[in-house]
Amino acid sequence: MMKKGTQLYEGKAKKVYLTDDPDVLIVDYKDDATAFNGEKKGTIVGKGAINNRMSNYLFKQLEKEGIPTHLIEELSDRETAVKKVSIVPLEVIVRNVAAGSFSKRLGVPEGTEFTEPTIEFSYKNDELGDPLINDYFARALNLASWAEIETIKKYALKINEVLKEFFLAAELRLIDFKIEFGRYHGTIILADEISPDTCRLWDVHTNEKMDKDRFRRDLGNVEEAYQEVMKRIGLL
């Protein structure tokens, strides 16, 4: 089994360790939760284990559908071996239904369905508060090449199609989600995580929120919502 070496990095929700293989990292998911660029802090008990297992499961499904990912192997409840990528500093957000910052910025009521999905980019930069940018800005900042941006968009839309169908089978509407990509030996692959921390998931019948918005907006029953999503997708 792969062994954890020196800690490379500690993020808001994960710690990342080196291993004796320079191409492999181990991520360790925490129960810590933050929102609004770290202004709001808390704990969601059991979240680390849930996000680790859910993200790995979803990445496996996506691999089957032709999306390359960083996943190597789940090592424990909270730990996973992943390919060491250099993260493209873009938060890639796909939306099917208006919610969150889209609704706020553009005055569109939450729950308004789009006729087709949208893609947006934020520049991953905590000091600047992850500002919204477009693909020309991404080029101006030299965050990615045009070819990489095209690949990222193509993968993001395909991931949306796969996940939308997957969650619908679990009676969940995929409202929107955020993904990140990395470069691995010159190719773009899906990295980071996909979990209720990074998606909006609403119950198909009641539109009840089953994701991190329960924490962000103090709606209560946060742990219960994460567990319910796990149950519905057959992982609990």
Binding site for ligand TMP (CB under 6 A): 93, 99-102, 176-178, 198-200
Residue nearest to ligand TMP (CB): 100
As measured in angstroms, the least distance from the Cβ of 195 to ligand TMP is: 9
As measured in angstroms, the least distance from the Cβ of 41 to ligand TMP is: 14
41: which residues sit within 8 A by CB, 6+ positions away? Answer: 32, 33, 34
For the packed helices 47-64 and 222-232, what is the interaxial angle rounded to 10 degrees?
Answer: 30
By beta-carbon proximity to ligand TMP, the closer residue of 4 and 232 is 232
As measured in angstroms, the least distance from the Cβ of 104 to ligand TMP is: 8
* Euclidean distance between CA atoms 195 and 187, whole angstroms: 24
By beta-carbon proximity to ligand TMP, the closer residue of 167 and 177 is 177
Burial class (CB in 10 A: 0-12, 13-18, 19+), 206: exposed
By beta-carbon proximity to ligand TMP, the closer residue of 102 and 215 is 102
CB 66 within 8 A of CB 186: no
Coil, strand or helix at 42:
strand
Q: Quick one: which of 17, 23, 22 has its CA closest to 3? A: 17
By beta-carbon proximity to ligand TMP, the closer residue of 2 and 108 is 108
